[in-house]
Amino acid sequence: MTEQTAGQKKSRRQMLEEFVGKKPDDAFSRYGLALECMNSGDSAAADQHFRALLERNADYIPAYLMYGQLLARESRIEDARRVLSTGIETATKAGNQHARSEMEALLNDLS
Mean residue pLDDT of the chain comes to: 93
pTM beyond 0.85, yes or no = yes
Which band of pLDDT confidence, cut at 50, 70 and 90, is reported for residue 111?
Answer: low
Domain-embedded: residue 38 = yes
The answer as to whether 97 is a domain residue is yes
Domain containing 65 — which CATH number?
1.25.40.10
**pLDDT single digits (tens) 44-68:** 999 999 999 999 999 999 999 999 9
d(CA 45, CA 21): 14
Identify the CA nearest to 54 among candidates 73, 15, 13, 82: 82
Calculate the dihedral angle through the C-alpha atoms of 77, 107, 41, 6, rounding to the nearest 10 degrees. Answer: -130
H/E element, 78 = helix 77-94
User: Domain range spanning residue 80?
Assistant: 12-110
Instruction: Establish if 2 belongs to a structural domain.
Output: no
How many domains is the chain built from?
1
